[in-house]
Chains A and B, each alone.
Chain A
Amino acid sequence: MNQISLTWAFLTDADRWPLILSRTLDHLGYTALAVGLSLLIALPLGLWVGHSRRGADVVLSVAGALRALPSLGLLTWLTVSMSVGVRMPLVPSTIVLILLAVPPLLAGIVAGMVAVPRQVVDSARASGYSEGQILSRVEVPLALPVMIGGLRSCVVQVLATATIVAYVGLSGLGRYLIDGLALRDYPQMLAGAVLVTGLALIVDLSLALLQKTLQPQGRVS
């Protein structure tokens, strides 16, 4: 009970709010940077694989295998072995988050496009759509809810994992957990846990809402 009231005191201390806010923004910034760069990789690759329907199995199994790599191991290894690692921990951290973000993005894009019925694509082709038009007017709109689902699980995983980049010296809400651990300050750790969980839930629910809004009309769900 004492721990909870100390945590409550930590969170409601107005002097701490500016730092909490700036760490929250840092946390969101790392997430946005990694997800943005991952989109640059996953979007062209996924659209190409999904449209040509070639190599989908290979792409998905490589992406699946990447998920088995422990992020903490990759993060510490890259930080220690890259020449810029310790000076600029943002570089190894972003690489780790990208490796984490690409698989769910790719899986969502490819799965969404492969699920578009063949006949629909063929009839679009028969009525004179160019390949580019098929992609932009038929396949992508139909695959969009599944793609957004992939984006959602990607963002949530990156946001959750961005907690551990504090270990190699970056900011973010993980700071409270790592610093609290070093200082044996349990209320501070608990406050960090509450903050980062709340942030993750808010982001997840907003994306769920987006996913609902983008559901094409007139489709049986």
Chain B
Amino acid sequence: MRWGWAVDNAGRIGELAWAHFSLSWPAILASFLLALPIGWFAQRHGWARETIVVFTGLLYVIPSLALFVAMPLMLGTSILSPLNVIVAMTLYGLALQVRATVDAFGTVPGDVRQAAIATGYPAWRRVLAVELPLAGPALLAGIRVVSASTISLVSVGALIGVASLGTLFTEGFQRSFPTQIIVGLVGTVLLAVLLDAALVLLGRLLMPWARRVG
């Protein structure tokens, strides 16, 4: 280990960490938001439930490198475009989060829903003001898994030339320089831990009634 390298290259490492974060958060947010209507719909309609859960689950089977490579064809982007990684990561996020969302809405007690209907909540307000907050803790647990998995997988994008902390892996490999790879590993795990802490904090702020979440 040559820690001096990390100090000398702190600026570059910071830039790569920022690039890594910039690739990750849009995918995490998008999969959370897109999974909400899909998961809610699947939970309410038994016939759609199995199909949707199985279909989104199959997305996770596709190797990430293969998905990155297929993206330009579907999106019309260049192979080096960061958008490939963001959209591919959103699809993986959906594979995990749709299932979590279905289960989360499933935890809303039926009598609470009935009570909301009986007290005259219009459908959209019932969903937003009653079901969503009650499903909140389970949704948060789901998105924390998505966040960890996204941060870890984004690094594979380095193979197709999209810069992230994964770039330290490919450069370190080409130069046979383990220190650089270790810095990338530590940075990736650190980023995942920080993002997880941020999500937990956000959960506490938005759901002060849920003492323990996740």
Contact = CB atoms under 8 A, between A and B. Distances in A.
Interface of A: 3-4, 67-74, 76-77, 79-81, 86, 156, 159-161, 163-164, 167-168, 174, 177-178, 180-181, 186, 189-190, 192-194, 196-197, 200-201, 204
B65 A200 contact: no
B104 to A, nearest CB: 19
Given A77-B178, A200-B61, A4 B160 contact: no
Q: Top 9 A-B pairs ranked by shortest CB distance?
A: A193-B66, A76-B173, A160-B63, A77-B181, A163-B63, A73-B185, A70-B155, A81-B178, A70-B152
A163 B61 CA distance: 12
9 contacts: A69-B188, A70-B185, A72-B155, A72-B166, A73-B184, A163-B65, A164-B159, A186-B72, A190-B69
Contacts of B67: 193
Contacts of B60: 156
Which of the four size classes fits the interface of chain B? 35 or more
Contacts of B159: 72, 164, 167, 178, 181
Contacts of B65: 163-164, 174, 177, 193
Nearest to B67: A193
B178 A181 contact: no
Contacts of A80: 172-173, 176-178, 181
Contacts of B185: 69-70, 73-74, 77
B148 A197 contact: no
Interface string B9-29: 000000000000000000000
Given A4-B73, A77-B181, A193-B67, 17 more contacts: A68-B192, A70-B185, A72-B155, A72-B170, A73-B166, A73-B169, A76-B170, A164-B65, A164-B159, A167-B173, A177-B66, A177-B69, A181-B160, A193-B66, A193-B69, A194-B66, A196-B66
B182 interface: yes
A39 B73 CA distance: 39
Contacts of A161: 63
Given A68-B192, A190-B70, A197 B181 contact: no
B66 A76 contact: no
A192 B62 contact: no
Nearest to A161: B63
B70 A73 contact: no
Nearest to B71: A193
Contacts of B155: 70, 72-73
Given A193-B66, A197-B62, A70 B177 contact: no
Nearest to A189: B69
A72 B162 CA distance: 14
Contacts of A159: 63
Nearest to A156: B61
Contact of A201 (B61, B70, B170, B188): B61
A70 B166 CA distance: 9
Nearest to B148: A68
Contacts of A71: 152, 156
B107 to A, nearest CB: 18
Chain A CB within 10 Å, residue with most, of B67, B159, B160 = B159
Nearest to A153: B60
B108 interface: no
Nearest to A74: B185
Given A156-B61, A177-B66, A69 B152 contact: yes
Contacts of B182: 77
Nearest to B184: A73
A61 to B, nearest CB: 12
Nearest to B177: A80
A200 B62 contact: yes
A163 B66 contact: yes
